[in-house]
Structure 1
Amino acid sequence: MGKIQVGFLVSYDFNLLKNAIPRVYKDADTIFLAIDKNRMTWNGAPFTIDDSFFEWIKAFDTDGKIVIYEDDFYVPELSTMECEVRERKMLSDKMGIGNWLVQLDADEYFIDFKSFVDFLKSKKHLLKNPEKTPVEVSPFLVNIYKKLEGGVLVVDKATKIRAATNYPDYKVGRKTKHKTVYHNSLILHECLSRTREELEFKLDNWGHDVDINKKEFLEKWESVNETNYNTMQDFFYLEPSSWKNLKYLKGITVEELSKSVKDEGMYHSALYVFFKNFGQSFKYLFK
Structure 2
Amino acid sequence: MKKIHVGFLLSYDYELLKFSLPPVYEEADRIFLAKDKDSRTWKGQKFDVDPGFYEWIKAFDTQHKIEIYEGDFYLPELSTIENDTRERTMLSQKMGIGNWLIQVDSDEYFIDFKKFVSDLRQYDSYLDDPENNKIQIFAFWAIIFKYTANGILYIDEPMKAAFATNYPNYKVARRTNERVIYLDSIVLHESVARTEAQLRFKLENWGHNVDVHKDFLNKWIAVDETNYQTMTDFYYIEPKRWKTLSYFPTKKIEEIKNYVATSKNLKITKSHLMLRNFGQWFKFLFKR
Question: 2:144–2:154: 8 Å Cα contact kept in structure 1?
Answer: yes
Aligned residue in 1 for 2:160: 160
Q: Is 1:24 aligned to 2:31, yes or no?
A: no
Which residues of 2 match residues 79-94 of structure 1 at below 5 A?
Answer: 79-94=79-94
Unmatched runs of 5 consecutive residues or more in structure 2: none
Question: 1:39–1:47: 8 Å Cα contact kept in structure 2?
Answer: yes
Alpha-carbon distance in structure 2 between the residues aligned to 1:145 and 1:180: 26
Q: Is 1:270 aligned to 2:275, yes or no?
A: no
State the shift of 1:230 in Å.
Answer: 1.1
Aligned residue in 2 for 1:174: 174
Aligned residue in 2 for 1:280: 280
Alpha-carbon distance in structure 2 between the residues aligned to 1:149 and 1:2: 45
Aligned residue in 2 for 1:42: 42
- Residue 101 of structure 1 aligns with an amino acid whose one-letter code is L
Alpha-carbon distance in structure 2 between the residues aligned to 1:200 and 1:167: 34
Alpha-carbon distance in structure 1 between the residues aligned to 2:225 and 2:268: 24
- Residue 152 of structure 1 aligns with an amino acid whose one-letter code is I
Alpha-carbon distance in structure 2 between the residues aligned to 1:68 and 1:101: 16
Alpha-carbon distance in structure 2 between the residues aligned to 1:106 and 1:54: 15
Q: Is 1:250 aligned to 2:216, yes or no?
A: no
Q: Is 1:117 aligned to 2:126, yes or no?
A: no
State the shift of 1:66 in Å.
Answer: 0.4
Question: 1:249–1:261: 8 Å Cα contact kept in structure 2?
Answer: no
State the shift of 1:213 in Å.
Answer: 3.0
Q: Is 1:106 aligned to 2:85, yes or no?
A: no
State the shift of 1:280 in Å.
Answer: 0.6
Aligned residue in 1 for 2:72: 72
Deviation string for 1:203-259 (max 9, x for gaps)?
000000011135x21110011011111111110001111101111012212211000
State the shift of 1:35 in Å.
Answer: 0.3
Alpha-carbon distance in structure 1 between the residues aligned to 2:104 and 2:261: 22
Question: 1:9–1:105: 8 Å Cα contact kept in structure 2?
Answer: yes
Secondary structure in 2 matching 1:162:
strand
Deviation string for 1:125-165 (max 9, x for gaps)?
00001111111100100111000123100001110110000
Alpha-carbon distance in structure 2 between the residues aligned to 1:188 and 1:138: 14
Secondary structure in 2 matching 1:74:
coil
- Greater shift, 147-156 or 160-169, is seen at 147-156
Secondary structure in 1 matching 2:175:
coil
Secondary structure in 2 matching 1:153:
strand
Question: 1:250–1:260: 8 Å Cα contact kept in structure 2?
Answer: no
Alignment: residue pair count: 286
Which residues of 2 match residues 117-266 of structure 1 at below 5 A?
Answer: 117-214=117-214, 216-265=215-264, 266=266
Secondary structure in 1 matching 2:109:
strand
Aligned residue in 2 for 1:55: 55
Query: Which 4+ stretches in 1 moved above 6 angstroms?
Result: none
State the shift of 1:267 in Å.
Answer: 2.0
Question: 2:213–2:238: 8 Å Cα contact kept in structure 1?
Answer: no
Question: 1:185–1:267: 8 Å Cα contact kept in structure 2?
Answer: no
Alpha-carbon distance in structure 1 between the residues aligned to 2:12 and 2:180: 30
Unmatched runs of 5 consecutive residues or more in structure 1: none
- Residue 232 of structure 1 aligns with an amino acid whose one-letter code is M
CA-based RMSD: 0.8
Secondary structure in 1 matching 2:278:
helix
